[in-house]
Structure 1
């Protein structure tokens, strides 16, 4: 066996194999410079530190500038090192797993990292598939196997895989080494849902050629759920589907971070201006350019070097708090860089099925056109099925022939039977039998125990339909790649041969199956799908559209079921064309679709099915909370307009007193213009629009439509494609400039989630694909309320307070330096040197300032009870130019007060100035933290007292900068007390007056 390829990479993904080496390279000086100092401010601080090697620019000890820079770099590098080492250990464990390889000398053991293209690998049950392979053989008697693919595509349902037919027929697995064959495969790509290839066996007469599709593949990262399989390795290393899909996600930069960066740029501008002013006041005398650099060094504290580190550590704390919240169990933070985004969401875009609803389908309605059966009349359906499969002895024995009533009943029974049989056959459901916790599908061939049977399918709708047919008497008891077995009410087994299956896709919105009844030999083509596509496939009727609308208005998900009887010759002709199309290498999908469409004509409409997807718990109060918080909710769904509208009403997305404007279907520019004008005349009404109309409006009147839609209290977009969901998110961001949050649970929501400013995935019945792609993962929609109202609000307010206080801390000492230099004739002489300047922003004030990440203005219960508090954050007031200016003025006032107070009250020693001013500065910072805190946490108290104790204890070792004997005098104590009181007392008074006469909204709730 061989493959027509030339060169392949080793089976160690490059991203994984190079992880440790990349990190080791990062330890090299040049790599660190590239990775860390490509950011302007890091580079700026590096240049300042390097300038201290020039004697004319040196202002003090080298460690004064190098230690803070080294600390910031160390935190970043250590964090990256931990992540890389963790990945390396995990990936090494994966790549060291041992597998069995078939060779001419027998079965040998081989590590995953040593597997090569062309190897025949044996994978046992519950073992991970080590490489992308073509499925050749299985030990299962039914000739198929199941895969668990949740680690690849996030979907929790098991996938059925089929081996190559000619290799499965070989007596033993060792015979694979005796045949001469080759695989033609497409080039490696990222599509995990499709595959095009052919398998050719040349040593047979004539040569056998079989088409290969996704059903014949075993992708790396999946797990074999049943039996033992043998496959030939097709792709390895960086060419694996899983690796090619592991791209670096779009790095989301939060609005808060952008605002902080903007403020930092303003501070940099202030730094340059102050330095130039100082030199200008010297009339640019002497070597003025060196003086500018020295002043840039002196006032470098204006830009807080520790700001980024403090904020990053704060984000880690917020993420930890979210994960530990027992009120929202199972919540996962996948992106710890944007928790503040949760506190400023203006638009929430949500999926419907599985997000607002439970995605647990309950069969509610069977409609045959002239008669409909609901939950209260399912016993009639059961009796019809029973009558079909029982003897005619049930007829009254006195009658010689069937009466009109009996004929009508038999006709109705026949119609009901055909509909139920179609539903029982047209699906992708496979019954799996579990015994003592061990799955054994082959048991289905021996006995069908209801208590052991579990249905596996790709959709909850499918399972709901099959479970309903079981409840009315027609039970799916067995299925493999080529046959299906149904059990009748009389325990008779009906055998059907599966001739072809046409799986459901989001594009086609339908699925079909061709089966042969083994008892009669009849061939039937069954199909079910959405009404929009089935309406053009079934024979003309006058009730389909009306009844679909009626059922949708009741909130039911509607499927149209149809059939077509095929003659043997007709099927043989179709099969020949279909097989030929499947063997095509180029444009296979298009050719296959064309052949199938030739069969989809004039089908007989059998019935409509209606299943209900009930709302999740507490969806209504959650949506009401979001609405009261000033968040506009848009529902984007692929369901029918009527179903989506019904769900929106039931969920109270649209309130009872709100009008609903249903945007009529438009197909051209003129119709869109007229409908937009009609919509413009409506006020305060919810909008419901279909995907087709939306596409036309966005094509011709994008600005006008978005302007009108953004004014609506709620918007429902139905029949919405995944690309349209992402497009709507993008347009909202561009047109409004507001933050968006997208919530979904399925693979069709991934693009929307990734496009939004903050993506939230719901772990649902459809798997974890949306959850894995999101920034935050929750288990129920109701948890979103607490995630935003409590954690989002707290994260934003805490980061705002933390960043402003770090800036205030830096501006205070810079103001003192400016006053000191001004008093002494604008001399570029540092006020504080050595450990004083380092200790000020580390051990003396770091912990109290950072403890602000534990502060909260109201209790969690209050924040949930009054969502209006969240609305206050949407304007960004906690971190605005106004609040920034206020903190700048506070910093200037306190810095000037402390410095002038120390200068006016000192005796004759410079060290006394340093002692008085520095001690006053430390006490002022600690008191300012106390002034800022809204709710005390015991760790805050510990941080305040510990920092004060550290400063007092360190005074003994600071004799180089401070007169130890002077600080023990009464003169020192009263001077420090007066200066500290003057710098802080006015602010306490102003805070009291503000809370007394103009209290903020949160203080009204806590008073």
Structure 2
């Protein structure tokens, strides 16, 4: 890399090998969007299946038009492409905003402003306070005399504390553009690496053939923010996608919810049913045609060619034709409806005003909508402590010097003593001369041994700098504990449970000892191999035989409503585990404070003895996790678990251990720092806290919330609603498609298995797209079977939907048999009502298409009214969608059968719908068949509510009667009026 002032004809070392400074997180480009998106969509089994069906319809002679499969497939592909294109456009927009942000370069001795994407390796960059470093830089110099700068790496590793960086020793004295531009240097460095914490090795850096001493340095990485008033100069060494930030970016693994897994299993079942139907009809067709007089009729033009064709080929072709005829049992539009429901439903979470935090100005974020319903299935919550359960706001509260404890105030002899109060044993007295020396050394250590810096502003609220009091100073440090100590010394000279403690000690060194220690440290820092190991050995040698002066205590307060949230989660049947890196005493005290542990319960250590009691709690340290089976055996029998002294990797291992246990529970991990990212990514659902440790956890999570207290409503209300809505949507789709296709199957027994379709092509095409899709989509977005206040007030209702209760095999079989029953009623009801009956004014009987239209009309009205019966939360939008879809069907049928369409080769539906409506028996049959179809479902709701009510139904009815003021009345209806706040229905 050639940098600084370049001589004529001198360019960067092999510049074509270095990328520009553009960051690309988008997935598609304008040119590859269509082929790449189509390839990804057809990798989905369902889409590929319908593509094969569509191609079969094009290749062979099938009973239905290719439009019936092609148009729905096109609709699904188009909607999904629009959704994914929009999401990728947002990524492009974010990339452009980052790549076009202004950056200051040094060019020909002047400061030039350019876009970030134009930065190249070897350019000199100037960065001011609160600006973000545009690429990975070698720190050359700063406006501070000591050649240091303070930065925050929150956007990179999640740590919001300030870190000190040191400039290259031989260049730190250059403070202006002219001095830097007057230099020329060549840098030979390592290949880009993703490790954030490894010191970077510069193999060679020469200035006019002089070797510059910078063998191991800490680079200023892209996305780091400069702090404290100073101007920083650096040379670009890694740009664009070779920066640490880009190399550490990795796409999150695709997570699948329990609902999606159940849906895929159900699809396999229906695919087996589809193949069975096609196989049965193929066999029965040839059994039927085994008699000569039952062969294909003479007027069928394809009869003769078919007879000459190979029997196996004929049977295979017929099998494919039956597959096409019955393929509508697989709901093609269900996938796009589910995706739209998840995408649109996620906005209800982000729009929730109760989850907006005014202190931080932040609201909830949804990074993926694919796991909305998983929020209603959580069985284990793994939470960090610092910054998640606590405020991560350190406050100095106590200190101990020579065994004397100092607190800001304490009750002594019935009086409150303020300021510097000493507590020694049970007495209160002053400290005299023998302790003065240790006191002085104690506070000298606190004042000097830290990284705190004072940031001075020019003015505060209009006051000049010299008018500010010492309390107006802003302290920054690499550790929040240090800031608390320095601030606390201003107020106190001062052991509660749960406090963060720090020991203070000293050791006297002679001049010779100090010189030797300095040489050892310098040699270790310049070591080319095993640098960290050698530094540790030097520190171990120096830091011996210290004299203890005392200890400090810093308090990290519990977050607001953290205890209420944990208590509500436990009532909902969710087990809460705390995974923290803190020591056991501090972490256990926090667990008591937030009511995770109770004072009257026993704390257990790891043992091989099986624990039977469910009211016990458990505390583990990091090494205990190695005993996996024993660990699981104990922890599964405890209502709460605390794991302390945990490294980030161990947190993820704990989550994975529970996730992969034999029960396969649904897990959730929540944290606020970079050390929580591993467990957030490992859990089924990861939630980041938008806190003081940066946004690393929030960016890598599936969802982000401002405070831990918002987890209560997120799970108990939004998660509950999401799961109920999507479960009903999936079951309803399977139900209405069984109702749709089973009459087609029955009709083959009455048409000699000739593959004649029962419905018109237009009805086949629009059934799932227009007639029945919008009402269920709106239901999936807005349905509330109970009120949000009830769900928050009664956390136990969460148990009613836990463990995928609404998508178990029992519920699946019920919906399937309900669809079969309704289909049998549609078909045979219409068949027996109008068998050999003259129904028209001119003496003609209903024909094939009139019969099919009658069945289809009953079908559309029944499945729509079934959804209306299941709806509890009625708004004008619900009324418009449900009744509007029925009106749309009637208007479409009148237009479709009332006009001779010139683009059609046939007019078989002309005047069919009007002829059917002109018949009195047809009206009677429609009303009667709809009533008979809905009756079993209504009876089932009434009986289940009266005989086997769920906890949800019991609470609903109880509150309903309290509100109505008539507790003596017994509710026997299957649906409480929607005008009341309390409504609900039995969920099986």
Q: Which residue of 2 aligns with 1:196?
A: 200
CA deviation profile, 1:175-215 (whole Å, cap 9, x unmatched): 2233354445443122234432349775589855135433x
User: Is the alpha carbon distance of 1:717 and 1:62 closer, same or farther for their aligned partners in structure 2, counting shifts above 3 Å?
Assistant: same
Distance 2:916 2:486 in 1: 86
Q: Which residue of 2 aligns with 1:751?
A: 678
Q: Which residue of 1 aligns with 2:652?
A: 726
Alignment of 1:563-574 (within 5 A): 563-574=506-517
Aligned counterpart in structure 1 of residue 868 of structure 2, from 906, 930, 933: 930
In the alignment, structure 1 residue 645 sits paired with structure 2 residue 599 = no
- For the 8 Å contact 1:351–1:744, the answer to whether it is kept is yes
Offset at residue 294 of structure 1 (A): 0.8
Aligned counterpart in structure 1 of residue 68 of structure 2, from 59, 64, 71: 64
Q: Which residue of 1 aligns with 2:320?
A: 293
Aligned counterpart in structure 2 of residue 147 of structure 1, from 144, 151, 164: 151
Aligned counterpart in structure 1 of residue 400 of structure 2, from 360, 367, 378: 367
Tell me the SS of whatever aligns to 2:912.
coil
User: Is the alpha carbon distance of 1:568 and 1:922 closer, same or farther for their aligned partners in structure 2, counting shifts above 3 Å?
Assistant: same
Q: Which residue of 2 aligns with 1:412?
A: 435
Query: More deviation in 68-77 or 314-323?
Result: 314-323
Tell me the SS of whatever aligns to 2:668.
strand
Alignment of 1:694-843 (within 5 A): 694-695=624-625, 698=626, 701-735=627-661, 736-843=663-770
Offset at residue 986 of structure 1 (A): 2.8
Structure 2: any 5+ residue segments left out of the alignment? 4-11, 290-310, 357-362, 411-415, 423-428, 835-844, 898-906, 958-988
Q: Which residue of 1 aligns with 2:352?
A: 325
In the alignment, structure 1 residue 996 sits paired with structure 2 residue 928 = no
- For the 8 Å contact 2:57–2:66, the answer to whether it is kept is yes
Equivalent residue pairs, number: 883
Alignment of 1:896-907 (within 5 A): 896-906=824-834, 907=845
In the alignment, structure 1 residue 956 sits paired with structure 2 residue 894 = yes
Q: Which residue of 1 aligns with 2:924?
A: 974
Offset at residue 869 of structure 1 (A): 1.1
Offset at residue 429 of structure 1 (A): 1.9
Aligned counterpart in structure 1 of residue 808 of structure 2, from 880, 885, 891: 880
- For the 8 Å contact 2:758–2:848, the answer to whether it is kept is no
Offset at residue 47 of structure 1 (A): 0.7
User: Is the alpha carbon distance of 1:169 and 1:892 closer, same or farther for their aligned partners in structure 2, counting shifts above 3 Å?
Assistant: same
Q: Which residue of 2 aligns with 1:584?
A: 527
Distance 2:84 2:99 in 1: 22
Aligned counterpart in structure 2 of residue 421 of structure 1, from 408, 429, 444: 444
CA deviation profile, 1:421-475 (whole Å, cap 9, x unmatched): 21222222221122347999xx99x89742541111343322211111122489x
- For the 8 Å contact 2:622–2:647, the answer to whether it is kept is yes
Alignment of 1:186-585 (within 5 A): 186-198=190-202, 202=206, 207-214=211-218, 217-220=220-223, 222=225, 226-283=229-286, 287-329=314-356, 330-376=363-409, 409-436=432-459, 449-472=469-492, 551=495, 554-585=497-528
- For the 8 Å contact 2:149–2:226, the answer to whether it is kept is no
Offset at residue 865 of structure 1 (A): 1.6
In the alignment, structure 1 residue 38 sits paired with structure 2 residue 65 = no
Aligned counterpart in structure 2 of residue 911 of structure 1, from 849, 871, 896: 849
- For the 8 Å contact 2:378–2:667, the answer to whether it is kept is yes
Q: Which residue of 1 aligns with 2:574?
A: 631
User: Is the alpha carbon distance of 1:849 and 1:923 closer, same or farther for their aligned partners in structure 2, counting shifts above 3 Å?
Assistant: same
User: Is the alpha carbon distance of 1:223 and 1:465 closer, same or farther for their aligned partners in structure 2, counting shifts above 3 Å?
Assistant: closer
User: Is the alpha carbon distance of 1:203 and 1:825 closer, same or farther for their aligned partners in structure 2, counting shifts above 3 Å?
Assistant: closer
- For the 8 Å contact 1:559–1:610, the answer to whether it is kept is yes
- For the 8 Å contact 1:10–1:115, the answer to whether it is kept is no
Offset at residue 153 of structure 1 (A): 2.9
User: Is the alpha carbon distance of 1:93 and 1:653 closer, same or farther for their aligned partners in structure 2, counting shifts above 3 Å?
Assistant: closer
Q: Which residue of 1 aligns with 2:294?
A: none
Q: Which residue of 1 aligns with 2:301?
A: none
Distance 1:598 1:116 in 2: 45
Offset at residue 82 of structure 1 (A): 1.1
User: Is the alpha carbon distance of 1:368 and 1:896 closer, same or farther for their aligned partners in structure 2, counting shifts above 3 Å?
Assistant: same
Tell me the SS of whatever aligns to 1:345.
coil
- For the 8 Å contact 2:257–2:373, the answer to whether it is kept is yes
Q: Which residue of 2 aligns with 1:513?
A: none
Offset at residue 831 of structure 1 (A): 1.4
CA deviation profile, 1:328-363 (whole Å, cap 9, x unmatched): 111111121101111111111111122112222222
In the alignment, structure 1 residue 689 sits paired with structure 2 residue 620 = yes
Distance 1:279 1:308 in 2: 30
Distance 2:223 2:614 in 1: 55
Distance 2:417 2:166 in 1: 39
- For the 8 Å contact 2:759–2:853, the answer to whether it is kept is no
Scaled by the length of structure 1, the TM-score of the pair is 0.83
Aligned counterpart in structure 1 of residue 32 of structure 2, from 13, 25, 46: 25
Distance 1:561 1:921 in 2: 80
Distance 1:620 1:101 in 2: 52
User: Is the alpha carbon distance of 1:344 and 1:375 closer, same or farther for their aligned partners in structure 2, counting shifts above 3 Å?
Assistant: same
Offset at residue 229 of structure 1 (A): 2.1
Offset at residue 382 of structure 1 (A): 5.7
Query: More deviation in 781-790 or 31-40?
Result: 31-40
User: Is the alpha carbon distance of 1:811 and 1:981 closer, same or farther for their aligned partners in structure 2, counting shifts above 3 Å?
Assistant: same
Tell me the SS of whatever aligns to 2:786.
coil
In the alignment, structure 1 residue 941 sits paired with structure 2 residue 879 = yes
User: Is the alpha carbon distance of 1:102 and 1:36 closer, same or farther for their aligned partners in structure 2, counting shifts above 3 Å?
Assistant: same
CA deviation profile, 1:223-265 (whole Å, cap 9, x unmatched): 5663332210010122111111121112111121111111111
Offset at residue 222 of structure 1 (A): 3.8
Structure 1: any 5+ residue segments left out of the alignment? 385-404, 475-550, 664-674
Q: Which residue of 2 aligns with 1:965?
A: 914
User: Is the alpha carbon distance of 1:438 and 1:863 closer, same or farther for their aligned partners in structure 2, counting shifts above 3 Å?
Assistant: same
Aligned counterpart in structure 2 of residue 130 of structure 1, from 131, 134, 140: 134
CA deviation profile, 1:128-181 (whole Å, cap 9, x unmatched): 322111121223456433434433333444444332232221363322233354
Q: Which residue of 2 aligns with 1:606?
A: 549
CA deviation profile, 1:566-604 (whole Å, cap 9, x unmatched): 223222222222222222343322222222222111112
Runs ≥4 in structure 1, deviation > 6 angstroms? 377-381, 437-440
Scaled by the length of structure 2, the TM-score of the pair is 0.84
CA deviation profile, 1:307-345 (whole Å, cap 9, x unmatched): 111111111233111111122111111121101111111
CA deviation profile, 1:381-412 (whole Å, cap 9, x unmatched): 8699xxxxxxxxxxxxxxxxxxxx99x72221
Distance 1:439 1:221 in 2: 31
User: Is the alpha carbon distance of 1:847 and 1:383 closer, same or farther for their aligned partners in structure 2, counting shifts above 3 Å?
Assistant: closer
User: Is the alpha carbon distance of 1:179 and 1:346 closer, same or farther for their aligned partners in structure 2, counting shifts above 3 Å?
Assistant: same
Offset at residue 685 of structure 1 (A): 1.6
- For the 8 Å contact 2:672–2:693, the answer to whether it is kept is yes
Query: More deviation in 269-278 or 953-962?
Result: 953-962
Offset at residue 939 of structure 1 (A): 1.9
Tell me the SS of whatever aligns to 1:188.
coil
